[in-house]
Structures are given as structure tokens and as C-alpha cells.
Amino acid sequence: MIQRIQTIYLLLTSIVSGGFIFIFNLWKVAEEKIFIVDLFHQESIQLKMIPTTFLASSILAIVTIFLFKNRQLQFVLGRINILINLFLLGLLIYLSLTVSGEASVSEKGIGMFLPILAILLLVLANKAIKKDEDLVKSVDRLR
């Protein structure tokens, strides 16, 4: 059933991973704010991986919503999406610590916390999926 609570969590994850990255800045070096749109035009492969990983997480969350008939696959895709966001978080931390121009004043933006929010929402979605699966298994035992 698509009208479950995990659908809301997965939709929010998709919005956080796919939509908010264009609104909130990742970090600010001196007076220049760096958004995801700016990272598309960089030469560094590490910087190009950030928007790609955000969008992959968003697309995977949307795909997971429509797999409501196969709860086990939905649960596995949720875990894969958590791993993608953990990788993204590690990449953002690494790049923020080694950002060029660190001699000038730099400030980390709220966009750095988006993978943490996505992970939290995915954990809640997986918990709801597991609860549904346990409910179906308990009903099957009664038959």
C-alpha cells in the first residue's frame, strides 16, 4: 500500500536529497557560497561525485516508494540508500577538511547536514517497513 508512513519518509528523503541541495549551500569560502550547481562545473572528480551521489540517493528513494508490494526489496534498497548517504557524508567531510583556499576564512553550510537528515529519514522508513513485514508474517501464521 502506497499510503503508508514509510512512503512519507521516503518522499521526504527524496526531497532532502534531490531538492534541498539546490537551496542550501555546502560551504562558503570567503564571500563565495558553494552550492551543488557550482559543483557541476568543477574539474575534480571528487567534486563531481557529490551532486551525482545526492541525485542517486533521491532517485533510489523514489524507486523504493513504488516497490511497496515487495517489502523485503524495499528494505534492502533502504539500506543501500543509507550506505550511499554515509559515503556522501564521508566525502563531504573529507572535502570540507581539504577545501582549497583554507587560508581564507571558510564556513560550513547547512547543506553538509543533509545526508544526516536523509539517513535519519531512511532509518525511520526501514523501521516502518520492518513493522509492516512483521505484521504480515504474524497474520500468515494465523492462517
Helix (H, G, I), strand (E, B) or coil at 32: strand
Q: Which long-range contacts (CB under 8 A, 24 or more apart) does 134-139 make?
A: 136/71
Q: How confident is the model at residue 112 (pLDDT cuts 50, 70, 90)?
A: confident
The per-residue pLDDT for range 51-95, each reduced to its tens digit, is: 889 999 999 999 999 998 898 999 999 999 999 999 999 988 887
Tell me the sheet residues that pair with 56: none
d(CA 77, CA 83): 10
